[in-house]
């Protein structure tokens, strides 16, 4: 059996990136890609690579996930995450959980045990019982986000989701997402990131996608599944991503972006926000390429 050339792509969110945050967005996405690529280069699984990459983004206050998460209406951090693998359509997700350092790890552990979505206390209890890294919920509050919440400031440089898609040497595709939601959101609000078909989708026969943007706009158009279905029709990932975003714009209001890999490892992404932080790596490259906008 011939092995597949591994590929990984990450996004740090569709958003407006202020000039003083551009370098941090580049550096964070490259660090995430490098963490995932290290796994793939050692012939590790796409699931392990996606988890490793997103854990880096969840630890970086530049991004709205984990430690960089926005605060809800109660001044607390509640996070969502999900992961899906394309071989058997396995998936796992958590939503509105607190005090879990890496929600993507909780999602992956759920996927490997039994596909389901666990919310709030059930997700937190699952993470604790499975030995995942916990912390006092206040430790996930970033000072910058706290000040913005306290002052009710308009947040510009703050995406709704981070994500990753990877193809491993066995030809398996995996997509993952993680988010801190929307600044000032009602306690318990869940967007697209934890929802299979909207925030992510993976199917080895077609491709895989992770989305970012306004959850309430992404959910009704099932953005990730829409993009992957276009791959299934033979569309190049770049065109499939563009088609999916155009479809969203034609039906609802809102900003969104998506990253795609098809089963051959071809890369694509598109967005209708001002900017989108993206980085990717493959065997054809000497080092990761990173972008904050696409010409």
| Token digits of residue 124 | 């937190």
Q: Is residue 214 domain-resident?
A: yes
Catalytic residue among 62, 109, 161, 211: 161
Say whether 70 is catalytic.
no
Distance of alpha carbon 258 from alpha carbon 209, whole angstroms: 7
| Token digits of residue 254 | 């809102």
Distance of alpha carbon 29 from alpha carbon 54, whole angstroms: 9
- Residue whose structure tokens are 């010409």: 295
- Strands 173-179, 79-85: pairing is antiparallel
Q: Is residue 142 domain-resident?
A: yes
- Range(s) of the domain holding residue 78: 7-291
Q: Could you say which DSSP state residue 74 is in?
A: T
Q: Sign of the CA dihedral 232, 256, 195, 48?
A: positive
Grouping H, G, I as helix, E, B as strand and the rest as coil, residue 266 is coil
Identify whether the C-beta of residue 259 lies closer than 8 Å to the C-beta of residue 232. Answer: no
Instruction: Give the pLDDT confidence score for residue 1 in this predicted structure.
Output: 47
Average pLDDT by stretches of 10, the chain with 295 residues: 88 93 96 98 98 98 93 93 98 98 98 97 98 92 73 57 97 98 92 97 98 96 98 97 98 96 98 96 97 89
Identify whether the C-beta of residue 92 lies closer than 8 Å to the C-beta of residue 108. Answer: yes
Q: Is residue 187 domain-resident?
A: yes
Q: Could you say which DSSP state residue 78 is in?
A: -
Distance of alpha carbon 94 from alpha carbon 119, whole angstroms: 5
Which residues sit opposite 281 in a β-bridge? 8
The CATH number of the domain holding residue 255 is: 3.60.20.30
Q: Is residue 1 domain-resident?
A: no
Q: Is residue 2 domain-resident?
A: no
Q: Could you say which DSSP state residue 221 is in?
A: G
Name the pTM for this structure: 0.95
- Residue whose structure tokens are 């993206």: 278
Q: Between vectors from CA 53 to CA 49 and to CA 55, what angle results, nearest 5°?
A: 115
Q: Could you say which DSSP state residue 164 is in?
A: E
What total of structural domains would you count in the chain? Answer: 1
């Amino acid at each position: 059996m011939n092995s597949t050339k591994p590929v990984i792509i990450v996004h740090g969110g569709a958003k407006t990136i202020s000039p003083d945050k551009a370098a941090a967005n580049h550096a964070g996405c490259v660090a995430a890609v490098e963490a995932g690529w290290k796994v793939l280069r050692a012939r590790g699984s796409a699931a392990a690579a996606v988890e490793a990459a997103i854990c880096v983004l969840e630890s970086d206050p530049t991004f709205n996930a984990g430690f960089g998460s926005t605060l809800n209406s109660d001044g607390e951090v509640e996070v969502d995450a999900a992961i899906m693998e394309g071989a058997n359509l396995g998936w796992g997700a958590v939503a509105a959980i607190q005090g879990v350092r890496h929600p993507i790890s909780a999602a992956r552990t759920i996927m490997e045990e039994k596909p389901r979505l666990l919310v709030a206390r059930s997700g937190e209890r699952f993470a604790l019982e499975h030995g995942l890294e916990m912390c006092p919920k206040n430790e996930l509050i970033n000072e910058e986000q706290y000040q913005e919440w306290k002052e009710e400031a308009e947040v510009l440089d703050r995406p709704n989701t981070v994500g990753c898609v990877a193809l491993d040497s066995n030809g398996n595709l995996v997509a993952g997402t993680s988010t801190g939601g929307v600044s000032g959101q009602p306690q318990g609000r869940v967007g697209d990131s934890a929802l299979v078909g909207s925030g992510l989708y993976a199917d080895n026969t077609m491709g895989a996608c992770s989305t970012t943007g306004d959850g309430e706009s992404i959910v009704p158009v099932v953005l990730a599944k829409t993009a992957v279905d276009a791959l299934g029709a033979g569309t190049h990932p770049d065109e499939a991503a563009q088609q999916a975003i155009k479809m969203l714009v034609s039906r609802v209001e809102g900003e969104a972006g998506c990253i795609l890999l098809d089963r051959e490892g071809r890369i694509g992404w598109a967005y209708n926000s001002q900017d989108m932080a993206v980085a990717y790596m493959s065997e054809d490259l000497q080092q990761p390429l990173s972008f904050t906008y696409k010409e």
